[in-house]
Amino acid sequence: MGKKIGVVTGGGDCPGLNAVIRAIVKAGDMQGFTTIGVRGGFDGLLTPVQAAPLTVRDMDGLLIRGGTILGTANSGKFSSKTGQGKTRKIPENLMAQVRQTIEALGLNALVVIGGDGTLTTALQMHESGLPVIGVPKTIDNDLDATQQTFGFDTAVACAVDALDRLHSTAQSHNRVMVLEVMGRYAGWIAAYAGLAGGADVILIPEIKFNMPSIEKKIRAREATGKLFTIVIVAEGAKLDDSMVVSDNDETDREVRLGGIGYAIAEKIQEKTGKESRCVVLGHLQRGGQPTHWDRQLCTRFGVQAVHMAAGRNFGKMVALKPSGMMGSVNLKDAVNRIRSVDPHGELILTARTLGICFGDEI
Active-site amino acid positions: 140
Beta-carbon count within 10 A of 344 CB: 8
What distance in Å separates the CA atoms of residue 362 and residue 352, rounded to the nearest whole number? 14
N residues, the chain: 362
DSSP 111-180: EEEE-HHHHHHHHHHHHTT--EEEEEB-TT--BTTSS--BTHHHHHHHHHHHHHHHHHHHHHHT-EEEEE
What distance in Å separates the CA atoms of residue 237 and residue 214, rounded to the nearest whole number? 14
Check if the beta carbon of residue 320 is closer than 8 Å to that of residue 297: yes
Q: Where are the strands (E) in the chain, listed by range?
A: 3-9, 33-38, 51-54, 109-114, 132-136, 176-181, 201-203, 229-234, 276-280, 316-320, 326-330
What distance in Å separates the CA atoms of residue 255 and residue 81, rounded to the nearest whole number? 10
- Distances in Å between the Cα of 305 and the Cα atoms of 52, 314, 354 are 19, 10, 41
